[in-house]
Structure 1
Amino acid sequence: MSTYGNQPDYFSQNNEATFNFEMPPQQDFQQELNFQTFEGKSNVSGNIYESNPYLNPSAPYSGDVYGSGQEGRDYSGAGGKFEDEPPLLEELGINPEFIVQKTLTVLNPFHTPEVAALQDTDLAGPLVFCLAFGGFLLLSGKVHFSYIYGIGVLGCLSMWALLSLMSAQGVTIGTVVTVLGYCLLPMVGLSGVNVILSLQGYVGIVLTSVAILWCSLSASKLFVTALAMDHQQPLVLYPCALLYGVFALITIF
């Protein structure tokens, strides 16, 4: 420990080093450097921008990314193919003329519609009428969407089973849903009236009876016409009146 203070001071020494950066004399390797010359010959004749005008920086932009090639002609001619395609509603299976005709038939139950319009299965109209019916009930403080869909599905299945037994040519479930859904339109109007005034009175009883009779006559007329069930409208009208009577009870209470 006594020799600790006698340690040499390496940092206090003036260590100077000299460096020689002089290049060694050029050595003669006795080798001659021969550089060959080549004549530049261009294989491109004429203007090099004629084959591809997009390489020319001074050429104006024409807006045609395909130039004058075959791709540009195919792309410009593809727009005419969309003119021959059918409308979007027709591709989706929605016929606006049949929808309007069914709606007018419901509003006028004594009018005989076309059979082709009745056999056209359309679920857009019944869905809209069910949503409108539930919306008017919601405005009057009644949340009955589950009852509407539950009673509607049960009623459609029951009517499909009954009409399958009564009709000789048979009936599809889509036709039953379409007819019963479109004929719900008078009941939608009744629910709209319920928003303004109460139906629990003499006026309400009269309006409810008219709405039930209106829906039942329209539905039975459509079923008899679509299924060629001659002289069987009263038999079809009774179960339809029971179904729409349940919807009327939901509207009133």
Structure 2
Amino acid sequence: MSNLGQFDSDFYQSNYTIDNQEQSRNDSNAYENLYGSRKQQASEQPQPAFVPPEMLMPSGYAGQFFQPGSNLDYYSQSPYSDNFDEEPPLLEELGINFDHIWQKTLTVLNPLKAADGSIMNETDLAGPILFCIALGATLLLAGKVQFGYVYGMSAIGCLGICALLNLMSSSGVSYGCVASVLGYCLLPMVILSSCAIFFSLQGTVGTVSALIIIGWCSLSASKIFISALDMEGQQLLIAYPCALLYGLFALLTVF
């Protein structure tokens, strides 16, 4: 039993005394006093007053949040706006000039009118394509499906006339210019094919009308060629192959 009592006394023996307990209690009280004084100082500091958002905005800003105001002076002084104003119209960039088309059409319709070489010496295919389609459409209305012959003879005829003009003239001419002139001079043939819709051309009246239209087309084409290529005195030499080409279109129209 003595050994057991000694074991219990040894087991519960510790360095912790009542003095240590009082010291820890004093430390905790000091910490609470320090924390409480800091909390009181923080509560005594003045809080910032409420400021409306309108007062925080700059006086010169008239837009809304996350929406920047437009600066008209910047866009008016931008160099890109001047570039858009200086650009030519889209039709002129594509090579379509209605004024030139109208002048060329009037030149073809009036064989006695002097041709402007500066306008005629252009690769303008808008009018010729339109007249070829019109010729094929009028032939179709007359009961003749000849679109392939119209396009084929036009391409081969332009090649032949282009080679002939390059041999006869010193300046030379491009294939596009020849195709443009021959296409515009196809307009009288469209008038003849339009007449074939209402009455038959297989007779004396039709033959005479076809000869007049062939002479009209070849005379207009040769006049434009000698004006654009400075080939004075050679109009008959150019009109003859042109008459052969337009004679083929007349055969399609009459028969």
Category of TM-score, reference length = shorter chain? 0.7 to 0.9
Residue deviations 1:175-226, cap 9 Å, x none? 1001100000000000100111111111111111111110011111111111
Q: String of CA shifts for 1:87-106, please: whole Å, max 9, x gaps.
A: 33333333333222211111
Aligned equivalents of 2:54 and 2:212: distance in 1? 92
Structure 2 matches for 1:140-159, cutoff 5 A?
140-159=142-161
Over the matched positions of the two proteins, sequence identity in percent amounts to 52
Which amino acid in structure 1 is aligned with residue 199 of structure 2? L
CA distance in 2, matches of 1:154, 1:46: 80
Shift of 1:76: 5.2
Q: CA deviation at 1:86?
A: 3.0
**Within the alignment, does 1:47 sit opposite 2:49 as a pair?**
no
Tell me, yes or no, if the aligned pair for 1:129 and 1:185 is still in contact at 8 Å.
yes
**Residue matched to 1:100:** 102
Larger radius of gyration between Structure 1 and Structure 2: 2
Letter in 1 for 2:58: E
Amino acid of the structure 2 residue aligned with 1:204? G
Instruction: List per-residue Cα deviations over 1:163-184 (Å, max 9, x = no partner).
Output: 1111111111111001100000
**Letter in structure 2 aligned against 1:55:** F
TM-score (norm. length: structure 1): 0.74
Aligned residues: CA RMSD = 3.0
Is structure 2 residue 216 aligned with structure 1 residue 214?
yes
The letter for the 2-side match of 1:74 is: Y
Q: 1:11 aligns to what?
A: none
Letter in 1 for 2:169: S
CA distance in 2, matches of 1:250, 1:66: 70
Letter in 2 for 1:98: H
Aligned pairs (5 A) from 1:144-183: 144-183=146-185
CA distance in 1, matches of 2:193, 2:77: 54
Letter in 2 for 1:48: L
Amino acid at match of 2:192: L
User: Which of 199-208 and 44-53 deviates more?
Assistant: 44-53
SS in structure 2 at match of 1:200: coil
Deviation digits for residues 75-119 of structure 1 (CA, Å, limit 9, x no counterpart): 356696344443333333333332222111111112211110111
Residue 68 of structure 1 and its aligned partner are, at CA, apart by 5.0
Distance 1:230 1:76 in 2: 55
Displacement after TM superposition at 1:143 (Å): 1.3
- Contact 1:101-1:113 at 8 Å conserved across structures: no
* Structure 1 residue aligned with 2:190: 188
**Which residues of 2 match residues 5-84 of structure 1 at below 5 A?**
47-50=55-58, 53-55=63-65, 66-69=68-71, 72-75=72-75, 81=82, 82-84=84-86
Partner of 1:251: 253
User: Judging changes above 3 Å, is the alpha-carbon distance between structure 1 residues 206 and 80 closer, same or farther for their aligned structure 2 residues?
Assistant: same
- Give unmatched runs, 5+ long, in structure 2: 1-27
- When residues 68 and 212 of structure 1 are mapped into structure 2, their CA distance, relative to the original with a 3 A threshold, is closer
Size of the alignment, in residue pairs? Answer: 213
Conserved? CA contact 1:49–1:55, under 8 Å: no
Report the equivalent of 2:229: 227
Aligned residues of 1:208 and 1:248 also touching (Cα < 8 A): yes
Can you give the 5+ residue segments of structure 1 that lack an aligned partner in the other structure? 1-29, 57-64
- Length-normalised TM-score, structure 2: 0.74
Measured in 1, the distance between the counterparts of 2:167 and 2:87 equals 42
* Cα distance in 2 for residues equivalent to 1:166 and 1:68: 65
What CA distance in whole angstroms lies between the structure 1 residues aligned with 2:238 and 2:220?
11
Distance in 2 between the 1:105 and 1:190 partners?
A: 18
What are the superposed Cα offsets for residues 93-151 of structure 1, whole Å, 9 maximum, x if unpaired?
A: 33333222211111111221111011122110101100111111111111111111111
